[in-house]
Amino acid sequence: MMNKELGRRGEEIAVRYLQKKGYGLLDRNYYTRFGELDIICEKNKELIFVEVKTRKSVKYGSPEESITAKKREHLRKAALIYIDTHHRPFQGMRFDVIAILLEKEDKKINHIKNAF
């Protein structure tokens, strides 16, 4: 499985997971000059930016460990652009990470709220 395909599959899993948990999907794959916001959703009047990381093994570390300080900074800047261009009423915002591990037939989802 190619990385892009793995990433897409992970995002599909994450979207279904979030919808089951009652999150409202607002946007996906929102591109800015600072990079892409994977999933933008809302719950309880809170705007939530979700970074999805999918791996097939932990050979090179867990999925969530791959989010560097530079990546977090770029996500924050991308989120500010989104907020600036989509005037949505919200009472708070946060960054979540959904780490997905797809090992053979096993699927593990780790949802880290307020990750950074």
Q: In the 3-class helix/strand/coil scheme, how is the chain assigned residue by residue?
A: CCHHHHHHHHHHHHHHHHHHCCCEEEEEEEEECCEEEEEEEEECCEEEEEEEEEECCCCCCCHHHHCCHHHHHHHHHHHHHHHHHCCCCCCEEEEEEEEEEEECCEEEEEEECCCC
Q: pLDDT tens, 17-56?
A: 999 999 999 999 999 999 999 999 999 999 999 999 999 9
> Where do the structural domains in the chain lie, given as residue ranges?
3-112
The predicted structure's pLDDT at residue 52: 97
Q: Which CATH class is domain 3-112?
A: alpha beta
For residue 1, pLDDT over 60 is answered with: no
Residue given tokens 């990546």 in the structure block: 71
Q: Give pTM, 2 decimals.
A: 0.93
